[in-house]
Amino acid sequence: MEVLPHTLAIDVMGSDRGPSEIILGISEALRDRDDFGVLLVGDQSVIHRELQKLHIDQDPRLEIVHASEVIGMDEKPVHSLRAKKDASVIRAIELVQEGKAGAILGCGNTGALMAGSTLKLRTMEGVERPVLVTVIPTFDRYIVMADVGANPNTTPIQMVHNAILSSDYAVRVLGIEHPRIGLLTIGTEEGKGNELTLTTHEYLKQLKGIIHYSGLIEGFQVFEGAVDIVLCDGFVGNVLLKTLESLVTQLKGYLKGELKKNPVRLLGAFLAKGAFEALKVRLNPEQYGAASLLGLRGKVLKSHGSSKHGAIRSGIRMAVALMGEGSENSSQRKILEANTRLESIKS
């Protein structure tokens, strides 16, 4: 394998669609650009066969790193990490830990990736828990949502760290200079919300100069373009994201069914095809095909367990772009400054 400035470790095992779908995505990403390399982690004979099928087994940018075990989607993270020492996800994380890869992209069990990378890579100084951050499409822009599931029992100080990490992420990934952060709650009058949002709101107001806090937002403002970052705890974010995804899917299915009910509607749908295509492109979740686990001493990305090759391809594009810079230093500095500033309020 050539020595390339950016080397990405990809756990190709354990996803819903199997290694062939992941490796197809990798082959497409290799055609997009040639300034990165991939360490494919998993069962070497399976990977080799897939590479041969796609005629990329001789590509000097690829290297197989064998791992004999796989953690399935439904296995309990902590238990399986203990039981399967040679799991592909662990091996891939270790490649980052050892400096052999600049980032890991996982496509399997999210809990195992989170627990494993927290354990092996450790959190940044002053950060207690990592945060899972994702980019979601709205009707006129992309926004960042954090946390979408890393930490369902969040504390106000963790929310502050998540705000800082997401803000630097929005700068990097979406190219927004001063991302506006909104704290998701159930009413924007002072005093409304739950214990977590009430204290977090007070803390975030102290962070002028570190982040751009726009204040409280309600659910109906998520798609209104009022903010660039929707900040919420990992329970709310996860429930919200999954419900929204499912609503869009079901809505598409329902409309499709109705449009097929008679030939006149079918003709209408054919003529109006462009409008549906535009909507599909606009709300395509594959545009940013990976979520990022932030707050660790290493770059960790996660594709959806049911990702198709297109999402893997765009996840790799994101990972390669993120490997190209070192904004962790900036986040690290801001987090320590926030901790110092808030120390006086808390006590």
The residue among 144 and 241 lying less far from a second copy, judged by its C-beta, is 241
The residue among 17 and 297 lying less far from a second copy, judged by its C-beta, is 17
The residue among 142 and 235 lying less far from a second copy, judged by its C-beta, is 235
- We find the least distance from the C-beta atom of residue 82 to a second copy, in angstroms, to be 15
- We find the least distance from the C-beta atom of residue 7 to a second copy, in angstroms, to be 32
The residue among 26 and 240 lying less far from a second copy, judged by its C-beta, is 240
- We find the least distance from the C-beta atom of residue 137 to a second copy, in angstroms, to be 11
CA 182 to chain centroid, in Å, comes to 19
Q: Side by side, which strands form the sheet with 299-302? A: 62-66, 36-42, 6-11, 103-106, 299-302, 291-294, 131-137, 142-146, 229-231, 180-184, 212-217
Q: Which helix (H) or strand (E) holds 180?
A: strand 180-184
The residue among 118 and 238 lying less far from a second copy, judged by its C-beta, is 238
Q: At residue 294, what are phi and psi to the nearest 5 degrees?
A: -105, 160
- We find the least distance from the C-beta atom of residue 213 to a second copy, in angstroms, to be 19
Q: At residue 292, what are phi and psi to the nearest 5 degrees?
A: -120, 140
Which tokens sit at 197? 């949002």
Residues listed for the chain: 347
- We find the least distance from the C-beta atom of residue 182 to a second copy, in angstroms, to be 12
The residue among 36 and 203 lying less far from a second copy, judged by its C-beta, is 203
DSSP string, 188-251: -STT-S-HHHHHHHHHHTT-BTTBEEEEEE-GGGTTTTS-SEEE--HHHHHHHHHHHHHHHHHH
- We find the least distance from the C-beta atom of residue 241 to a second copy, in angstroms, to be 7
Residue 186, CA distances (Å) to 148, 155, 197, 206, 234 in order: 18, 18, 10, 22, 16
| The amino acid at 84 | K
The residue among 7 and 238 lying less far from a second copy, judged by its C-beta, is 238
Residues of this chain that interact with a second copy (CB under 8 A) are 74, 76, 111, 138-139, 149, 152-153, 184-187, 189, 191-195, 197, 218-224, 232-236, 238-248, 250-251, 253-255, 258-259, 261-262, 264-265, 267-276, 278-279, 282
Which tokens sit at 36? 């990165």
- We find the least distance from the C-beta atom of residue 83 to a second copy, in angstroms, to be 16
